[in-house]
Structure 1
Amino acid sequence: MKPKLHILPVIIISQFACTSLWFAGNAIIEPLMLKTGMGLEIIGYALSSVQLGFIVGTLVFALLMIADRYPPARVFMFCALLASFCNFILLSASLSKGLLLMARFGTGFFLAGIYPVGMKIAADYYEKGLGKALGFLVSALVLGSAFPFLINGLEWGRDYRAVIMITSGLAVLGGFMLWALVPNGPYRKHSTKLFLRAGPDLFKIKGFRSAAFGYFGHMWELYAFWAFTPLAVETYNGIHHTAMPVALTTFGIIATGGISCVLGGLLSLRHGSKKVALVSLALSGSLCLASPFLFWLAAPLFIAGWILWSMAVIADSPQFSRLVADSVPIELKGTALTLVNCIGFAISIVSIQLLAYLVDRMNVNYLFLFLVLGPVLGLAGLKGKTP
């Protein structure tokens, strides 16, 4: 049964609208610093709390099998409303450090009912061609993550409140749109029980272990790269006395990564997911090592280098999901993906907090060198047997 033409575009647009909440706090770092009295460490805290909320939410939603017991589009809508409310808390006149962290944690928790559930809804419709569909959905996540920076960089978005109001409004709109236009898919099945106790046994499977460690390396690099890209642009401006618009430049850099997700999906049809992931990790690792030199290039070359890095750092994401899913028995797919996602996001918190700790203790030019640990781990993992 071929899905109606509007199904995938609606899922993509809704994912984009709702995941715009992910980096809404990081797009308005300076106003949040003034309101909470925090320093540059807020860059790490604002995103790490979202990541932690997402981890807890993913586990809770999986253990309670929320998206299987209830219509996933309805789950998506309610989570969009609640995540939007948590995001709106950032406009509180009495915003403290504690309230900020709780609000971002809540946003992350309910994003667990948006991003993975959106993937499930796509799987309910696309039994064949799912890899291609997932490439578009990860692109939507990338564009959604970048979108708050675009709002902040435009004239009418200079007031930080506009960033929060627009992203919150978009999330509500996206939630209702998916609920109204995307019913249960023809391939929707009640998943088998989540077997978290099978976790240690999964790592005995060579294919799973290889794909998982590749994904862990990918996650060490990805979110830390996104979180500290605005600081990289600011640092370049300071070195060269240029005036590149930080928010708009950050949007352009992150958003172009969405293109590589689609390209990676298409290339994987011919060359396989493992090869696409290997090339992406090798390229992003090379750019980690080259990052100190990028700061001394002319502005167009600096931007080109950062854009290339942005494309390499995300192109492998859908491929790792496929490699993990293909490496385990069908009854353990949900458990495998849940486990790998939770560990991966936990690893991203460590790398984000590491860079946040180091940012006041070393030259920013050399800060991104620490991200090379991720590609090195990922490449070492992928040397093993994968499907």
Structure 2
Amino acid sequence: MKKKGYILILIVIAQFFCTSLWFAGNGVMKDLILVFQLKNDASANLTSAVQLGFIIGTLSFALLSIADRFSPSKVFFVCAILAAFFNLGISWQGNSLVSLLLLRFSTGFFLAGIYPVGMKIAADHFDKELGKSLGYLVGALVLGTAFPHFLALFTTSLPWKLVIYVTTILAIIGGLLIFLFVPDGPYRKKSLGFKLSSSIHVFKNWNFRAAAFGYFGHMWELYTFWTFVPLILTTYQKINRNVSYSISLWAFIIIATGSIACIVGGYLSLKWGAKKVATYALAISGICCLLSPISFLLNKSLFIVFLLIWGFTVIMDSPLFSTLVAKNADPKIKGTALTIVNSIGFALTIVSIQTLHLLHTYINFTYLFVILAVGPILGLWALYHKKATH
């Protein structure tokens, strides 16, 4: 096996192992609520704590240029160990809501040194085939996202702490794989020092800015769709009372299909270019947003097919936008660029999710997801309203 292929496999495995921490709490949420006598709204708060931790973490890493000033492999390893430690804390019997929120926040904070830094490591090892490489990398994250829905099929027969122990061990192994076997890449250019202005100046490059805003439009839709997939499936069953299916199983399949989409998109980018493939994916997922009210009128088979298409295209463009961001950033601040774009993008996910939760009270649920089309529309506009990205 060629050295590059070997390194890519290790990065992908490590990324999946470590990002499984992201949704470990979701996989045992019912048990956490029962064991620690939490209120039902604790689920949303604990999930948001991880997102908030990741946002603040990525912002801090970007402002301090951590991934550019220090060895990305070592940063990944240290953050994997710390994130695993805070994840393990969930199993402590003396936890309260406050301590659980702090543990999930801290896990999210150190995930900032895993997901975007993993992309930085890949960008340092791959140049011409970066789109394909990031496709595998984001595909690993997608599987991590779908994992709790898969676990939901089995948690009734497994001790809930086992899920925490396993994800903790996987994260440690993932960190060790990077530290021991993935050196800093040949395309890495070490930053000369800390520059607070780096995270701002990076947006002066128009091509970078266009790619970043395309990514922001994509993120407005992505996590909100993933968050609401179980509720979309539940609502369809309520409307069509004669329809029956496993919500956990189909939520897992619909989200997990995105991992295949990321890989397919990466290979297609080698032939057609990252921007063109990202454009098609963003446009199709945007059309799915607009057609979502009609989907509830379809028969079961067509409804599932519609959600599979949506789940496929809603994430397909993510590694491609990251490719465009990496290629249009100054090599000396590539890690900072990827990290700050991730930070802003994930901040938008909270705004999007909370907006739909708020509007849910005033708008019929079947029409709610038309609002998500705003993201793809603005993303496409950002990509094409002036000159094109490369």
- TM-score normalized by structure 1? 0.88
What are the residue-to-residue correspondences of 1:34-45 with 2, within 5 Å? Answer: 34=34, 35=36, 37-39=38-40, 42-43=43-44, 45=45
User: SS of the residue aligned with 2:22?
Assistant: coil
Contact 1:148/1:163, CA 8 A, preserved across alignment: no
Contact 1:196/1:335, CA 8 A, preserved across alignment: no
Looking at structure 1, the residues matched to 160 and 290 of structure 2 have their Cα atoms a distance apart, in angstroms, of 34
- Match in the other structure for 2:370: 369
Letter in 1 for 2:149: F
Looking at structure 1, the residues matched to 121 and 334 of structure 2 have their Cα atoms a distance apart, in angstroms, of 16
| Range 108-117 or range 54-63, more displaced | 54-63
Contact 2:191/2:333, CA 8 A, preserved across alignment: no
Contact 1:87/1:103, CA 8 A, preserved across alignment: yes
Letter in 1 for 2:382: G
- Match in the other structure for 2:297: 296
Contact 1:157/1:163, CA 8 A, preserved across alignment: no
CA offset digits 1:185-230 (Å, max 9, x no partner):
4444323446442555544443233222211111111111112212
Looking at structure 2, the residues matched to 378 and 112 of structure 1 have their Cα atoms a distance apart, in angstroms, of 24
- Match in the other structure for 1:378: 379
| Range 156-165 or range 109-118, more displaced | 156-165
User: SS of the residue aligned with 1:297?
Assistant: coil
Looking at structure 2, the residues matched to 329 and 232 of structure 1 have their Cα atoms a distance apart, in angstroms, of 42
- Match in the other structure for 1:227: 227
Looking at structure 2, the residues matched to 186 and 154 of structure 1 have their Cα atoms a distance apart, in angstroms, of 43
Shift in Å, 1:12 = 0.7
- Match in the other structure for 2:133: 133
CA offset digits 1:80-128 (Å, max 9, x no partner):
2221232233344454433332222111111111112222222333244
Which sections of structure 2, spanning at least 5 residues, go unmatched?
A: none
CA offset digits 1:43-81 (Å, max 9, x no partner):
3x3333222211222233344444455543333233222
Which sections of structure 1, spanning at least 5 residues, go unmatched?
A: none
- Match in the other structure for 1:183: 183
Shift in Å, 1:378 = 0.8
- Match in the other structure for 1:339: 340
Shift in CA distance, 114/309, structure 1 to aligned 2, threshold 3 Å = same
User: SS of the residue aligned with 2:3?
Assistant: coil
| Range 284-293 or range 335-344, more displaced | 335-344
Shift in Å, 1:16 = 0.8
- Match in the other structure for 2:356: 355
Looking at structure 2, the residues matched to 49 and 133 of structure 1 have their Cα atoms a distance apart, in angstroms, of 30
Shift in CA distance, 192/254, structure 1 to aligned 2, threshold 3 Å = farther
What are the residue-to-residue correspondences of 1:3-42 with 2, within 5 Å? Answer: 3=3, 5-34=5-34, 35=36, 37-39=38-40, 42=43
- Match in the other structure for 1:264: 265
Contact 1:196/1:339, CA 8 A, preserved across alignment: no
Contact 1:47/1:227, CA 8 A, preserved across alignment: no
Shift in CA distance, 217/358, structure 1 to aligned 2, threshold 3 Å = same
Contact 2:79/2:110, CA 8 A, preserved across alignment: yes
User: SS of the residue aligned with 1:25?
Assistant: helix
Contact 1:280/1:316, CA 8 A, preserved across alignment: yes
Shift in CA distance, 175/329, structure 1 to aligned 2, threshold 3 Å = closer
Shift in CA distance, 31/287, structure 1 to aligned 2, threshold 3 Å = farther
Looking at structure 2, the residues matched to 117 and 267 of structure 1 have their Cα atoms a distance apart, in angstroms, of 24
Shift in CA distance, 75/254, structure 1 to aligned 2, threshold 3 Å = same
What are the residue-to-residue correspondences of 1:12-161 with 2, within 5 Å? Answer: 12-34=12-34, 35=36, 37-39=38-40, 42-43=43-44, 45-68=45-68, 70-154=70-154, 159-161=159-161
What are the residue-to-residue correspondences of 1:304-323 with 2, within 5 Å? Answer: 304-323=305-324
Shift in Å, 1:359 = 4.5
- Match in the other structure for 2:254: 253
Shift in CA distance, 303/28, structure 1 to aligned 2, threshold 3 Å = farther
- TM-score normalized by structure 2? 0.88
| Range 142-151 or range 352-361, more displaced | 352-361
CA offset digits 1:299-347 (Å, max 9, x no partner):
3222221111111111111111222233344445444333322211111
Aligned-residue RMSD, C-alpha: 2.7
Shift in Å, 1:13 = 0.8
Shift in CA distance, 51/334, structure 1 to aligned 2, threshold 3 Å = same
Shift in Å, 1:252 = 0.9
Looking at structure 2, the residues matched to 295 and 158 of structure 1 have their Cα atoms a distance apart, in angstroms, of 35
| Range 330-339 or range 304-313, more displaced | 330-339
Letter in 1 for 2:313: A
Looking at structure 1, the residues matched to 364 and 220 of structure 2 have their Cα atoms a distance apart, in angstroms, of 21
Looking at structure 2, the residues matched to 173 and 266 of structure 1 have their Cα atoms a distance apart, in angstroms, of 28
What are the residue-to-residue correspondences of 1:189-204 with 2, within 5 Å? Answer: 189-193=189-193, 195-197=195-197, 201-204=201-204
Looking at structure 2, the residues matched to 328 and 6 of structure 1 have their Cα atoms a distance apart, in angstroms, of 26
User: SS of the residue aligned with 2:21?
Assistant: coil
Shift in CA distance, 110/264, structure 1 to aligned 2, threshold 3 Å = same
Contact 2:77/2:175, CA 8 A, preserved across alignment: yes
| Range 326-335 or range 373-382, more displaced | 326-335
Looking at structure 1, the residues matched to 10 and 335 of structure 2 have their Cα atoms a distance apart, in angstroms, of 24
Letter in 2 for 1:325: A
Contact 1:195/1:335, CA 8 A, preserved across alignment: no
Shift in Å, 1:36 = 5.6
Looking at structure 2, the residues matched to 201 and 63 of structure 1 have their Cα atoms a distance apart, in angstroms, of 11
Contact 2:46/2:101, CA 8 A, preserved across alignment: yes
Looking at structure 2, the residues matched to 247 and 201 of structure 1 have their Cα atoms a distance apart, in angstroms, of 44
Shift in CA distance, 307/347, structure 1 to aligned 2, threshold 3 Å = same
